[in-house]
Amino acid sequence: MIEFRYPFILLAYLIVGAVMVFNRTKAKTREAETARWGEEKVRHRLFSRLDSKLLKRKPMLEWWGVVFLIFAASGPQIGTSFQEVERKGVDILVALDVSKSMMAEDVKPTRLEKAKFEIGRLISQLEGDRIGLVVFAGTSHLYLPLTGDYEAARLFVNAVDTEMVRSQGTAMSDALLTGLDAFPKEDQKHRTLIVISDGEDHEGEAVESAKRLAEAGVVVHSVGVGTNAGALIPVYDTQGRRSDYKKDRGGKLVTSILNDAMLREIAETGGGVSVRFDGRSGSMDDLLGVIETMEKRTLKTHEYSQFEDRYELFLACAFLFFVADFLTPTRRKKEEVWRGRFV
């Protein structure tokens, strides 16, 4: 497989092709003009000291030199090389609430979409850190293990929806413990967990779980998504169209309100900070600032392959063709003896 550092330079081959066609046309014109110089014997005598085969070979050497020179200038990269890379950073796990209440629209376009957007912004600003994702509703599971592949992380985040966890509810405590199990056990620091939710906790044990994470050396941050006024929870049909709003058993509309107090308590217990997205303000920037101040460690020293520059080979070929053109003689080694009238 081959790649080019400057592929646009290959467009020069179009110019080379056009010049070659032009020269071929001019060559035919010159041959026709030469034919008018006199008889063939006279022309043969005039050019007796020149080797016609070598004369035709020199332009070919020049053209091949130009071809290889353009190819070298385009920066061909062939094969792979291996390098050791040290990545310094922290391990970040995001516990994202995917319960139906996250579809409320008091934060536009929805609480869940706002959360996904801010996670994407967080990923785009990471440098060397590893990131993972836990999704939770009535239960939780590790959706994306810790990784330094940020492009893959974005794909996973974009694919999150409220259908990922069929069991409804908000098992925030379970999500925190799932995150704790996902961290490497050999390190007791350089770890942080960000829980993003509207604050509903049907189990009522989230604060205790945050305390357990803090004792294990994990810093717990919280992000509240929603408003104090709250919003109705839309219900969608199989075609993705809003058909109704969620109702309780008595037939009354359910309003989902941000439980900001509990989220702040989780962050305080976990030694972290609490951020709020309420549709008017709030972003991941505050959290990122805190994460950047954390002590970094070498997360992984690994080998990776990349294309290796090979322009030198083609540049050498171009040089050889130009040298061959320079050294190629045009004079015959043996001159013919004229046996004509004036000998």
Does residue 333 form part of some domain?
no
Does residue 342 form part of some domain?
no
Contacts of 130 (CB under 8 A, 6+ apart): 89, 90, 91, 92, 146, 147, 148, 299, 300
pLDDT at 182: 92
pLDDT at 343: 43
Amino acid at 181: D
pLDDT tens readout for residues 271-291: 999 998 886 766 778 788 888
Which residue range(s) make up the domain with 67? 2-80+307-327
Does residue 85 form part of some domain?
no
pLDDT at 131: 93
Same-domain pairing of 119 and 174:
yes
Element (H, E) at 242: strand 242-245
Same-domain pairing of 125 and 226:
yes
- Quick check: 235 and 242 in contact, CB under 8 A? yes
Give me the tens of pLDDT residue by residue for the chain, a chain 343 residues long.
Answer: 678 888 899 999 999 889 888 888 877 776 666 666 556 655 555 556 666 676 677 888 888 999 999 999 998 887 766 566 667 788 999 999 999 889 998 888 899 999 999 999 999 988 888 999 999 988 899 999 999 889 999 999 999 998 888 777 778 899 999 999 999 877 777 899 999 998 876 566 889 999 999 999 999 999 999 988 888 888 888 777 888 888 878 888 888 888 889 999 999 999 999 998 886 766 778 788 888 888 777 766 555 566 778 888 889 999 998 898 888 776 666 655 555 554 4
Other beta carbons within 10 Å of 224: 27
The domain that holds 269 is classified in CATH as: 3.40.50.410
Which residue, chain included where needed, has tokens 């829980």?
195
Does residue 199 form part of some domain?
yes
Same-domain pairing of 131 and 76:
no
Same-domain pairing of 142 and 120:
yes
Same-domain pairing of 148 and 8:
no
Same-domain pairing of 113 and 28:
no
Which residue, chain included where needed, has tokens 């357990």?
212
- Quick check: 75 and 115 in contact, CB under 8 A? no
pTM over 0.75: no
Q: CA-to-CA distance for 103 and 164, rounded, in angstroms?
A: 13
Does residue 86 form part of some domain?
no
Other beta carbons within 10 Å of 42: 11
Does residue 239 form part of some domain?
yes
Same-domain pairing of 174 and 194:
yes
Count the domains in the chain: 2
Same-domain pairing of 51 and 131:
no
